[in-house]
């Protein structure tokens, strides 16, 4: 039957995706500023584009941010495959030599704020979704496209959709953010836990420091000890740079002291720990052990920030899962080489989809490695040859997954 969803028909439908169409849409998205919290105009543009394609969509308000945009096909299917991508970017960093909103193509690269992170991936998801909707193939699972806000500032858009039930019953999710490019699939991600380490010393006149306990000086010793901690490794997992995966931690802030001539009696250190899959997320006991060994004069209290936007649990989607096997298959068919499976090093929306949505998830999309990976940097750019290829991989993967309930 002509409309049966066999591999040859899937490949035919996916091959109808035109590279220049994905590029043009990527440029359109880049030209609309959407720094986190300011996604409204881009959300309206995406909603209008979907409507112009004859698709019915809805917007979902997100307090303090632009709305999310959701569109679904395959009405009546009990389960769905979710295509998720974020609209927001970080702020413009110093040092751009190109117009960050110019979407200029030069030397085979598309330059612009969000070109990597992740408006090119979002455009590829949109074109793949439209191609699936227009294919006329009998989908036994639904397909849902989600453009979300606030990913760069605590993942609130995706968390809002999860809390509103938009991922309920989903059989799989693909986040179109391609850390490392299309030759890798991120089927795991480190978690991120944030800590406040508060030190309480004892004040004294600044001319007689021996009579007090300097909390700032003790905090400095804590920072050095934290920097020198030996981090765990996961020998069977690779990072996006195809290196053995390690835990890492970073001191983000140190604050304390007084403007008066006094020994500082209070200081706070803020820390983030990136934790490995299948390892404990809460590292308070380990941190406390290191600090106790310093025998500080100050007393210390270590607090784990546990708000939904602060604590990201690691996850691992099995390489044997239908999602990972199907995506790997179609990357190989379209890109000509089997992808490596890697673990993402920084938190992202897929952490929340795995934890709060309880949905098998991967990250896959156009991206760069090494010196070209200018995420959150000036002159962010993406190689244009990846854009149509990403859309074809999405289309093929979703169509195969959708041919079963």
Q: What gap in Å lies between CA 146 and CA 68, rounded to an integer? A: 7
Pairing of strands 80-86, 170-175: parallel
When pLDDT is averaged across residues 179-186 and rounded to a whole number, the result is 93
Record: fold of 7-189+314-402: Aminopeptidase (3.40.630)
Whether the predicted pLDDT of 3 surpasses 70? no
The Cα 287–Cα 270 span in angstroms is 12
191-304 topology per CATH: Alpha-Beta Plaits (3.30.70)
- In the block, tokens 């500082």 appear at 264
What's the pLDDT tens digit per position in 83-128? 999 999 999 999 999 999 999 999 999 999 999 999 999 999 999 9
- Tell me the two tokens of residue 76: 């009546």
- At 76 the pLDDT is 65
How far apart, in whole angstroms, are the C-alpha atoms of residue 371 and residue 7? Answer: 37
Cα(186)–Cα(189) distance, rounded to whole angstroms?
A: 7
Q: Using pLDDT thresholds of 50, 70 and 90, give the confidence band for residue 5.
A: confident
Distances (CA, A) of 164 to 60, 157, 193, 242: 9, 11, 25, 37
Residues 6+ apart with CB under 8 A from 342: 179, 180, 184, 185, 186, 187, 188, 237, 238, 239, 240, 242
Kindly tell me if the per-residue pLDDT of 82 is higher than 60.
yes
How many C-beta atoms lie closer than 10 Å to residue 125's C-beta?
A: 28
How distant is the alpha carbon of residue 166 from its chain centre? Answer: 18
| Cβ–Cβ under 8 Å, residues 144 and 394 | no
Residue ranges per domain, the chain?
A: 7-189+314-402, 191-304
For residue 248, which phi and psi values (nearest 5 degrees)?
-140, 160
Q: Under DSSP, is residue 91 helix (H, G, I), strand (E, B) or coil?
A: coil
17-59 confidence digits (pLDDT tens): 999 999 999 999 999 999 999 999 999 999 999 999 999 999 9
pLDDT value at residue 241: 87
Q: Look up the pTM and report it.
A: 0.93
Burial classification of residue 253, based on how many CB atoms lie within 10 Å of its CB (0-12 exposed, 13-18 middle, 19 or more buried): exposed
């Amino acid at each position: 039957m002509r409309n049966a969803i066999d591999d040859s028909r899937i490949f035919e439908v996916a091959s109808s995706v035109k590279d220049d169409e994905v590029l043009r849409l990527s440029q359109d998205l880049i030209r609309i500023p959407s720094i986190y919290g300011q996604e409204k105009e881009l959300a309206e543009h995406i909603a209008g584009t979907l409507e112009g394609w004859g698709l019915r969509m809805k917007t979902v308000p997100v307090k303090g941010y632009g709305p999310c945009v959701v569109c679904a096909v395959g009405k009546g299917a009990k389960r769905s495959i979710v295509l998720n991508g974020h609209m927001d970017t970080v702020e413009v960093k110093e040092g751009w030599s190109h117009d960050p909103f110019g979407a200029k193509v030069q030397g085979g690269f598309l330059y612009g704020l969000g070109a990597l992170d992740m408006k090119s991936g979002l455009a590829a998801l949109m074109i793949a979704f439209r191609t699936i909707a227009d294919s006329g193939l009998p989908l036994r699972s639904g397909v849902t496209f989600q453009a979300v806000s606030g990913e760069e500032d605590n993942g609130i858009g995706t968390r809002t959709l999860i809390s509103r039930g938009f991922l309920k019953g989903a059989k799989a999710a693909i986040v179109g953010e391609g850390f490392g490019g299309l030759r890798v699939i991120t089927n795991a991600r480190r978690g991120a836990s944030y800590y406040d380490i508060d030190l309480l010393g004892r004040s004294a006149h600044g001319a007689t420091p021996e009579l007090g306990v300097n909390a700032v000086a003790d905090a400095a010793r804590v920072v050095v000890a934290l920097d020198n901690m030996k981090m765990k490794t996961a020998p069977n997992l690779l990072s996006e740079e195809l290196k053995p995966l390690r835990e890492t931690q970073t001191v983000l802030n140190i604050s304390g002291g007084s403007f008066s001539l006094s020994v500082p009696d209070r200081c706070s250190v803020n820390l983030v720990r990136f934790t490995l899959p299948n390892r404990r997320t809460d590292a308070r006991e380990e941190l406390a052990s290191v600090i106790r060994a310093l025998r500080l004069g100050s007393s210390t209290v270590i607090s784990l920030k546990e708000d939904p936007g602060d604590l990201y649990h690691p996850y691992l989607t099995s390489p044997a899962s239908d999602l990972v096997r199907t995506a790997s298959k179609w990357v190989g068919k379209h890109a000509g080489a089997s992808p490596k499976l890697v673990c993402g090093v920084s938190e992202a929306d897929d952490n929340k989809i795995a934890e709060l949505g309880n949905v098998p998830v991967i990250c896959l999309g156009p991206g760069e490695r090494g010196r070209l990976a200018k995420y959150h940097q000036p002159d962010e750019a993406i190689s244009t040859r990846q854009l149509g290829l990403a859309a074809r991989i999405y289309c093929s993967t979703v169509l195969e997954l959708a041919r079963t309930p």
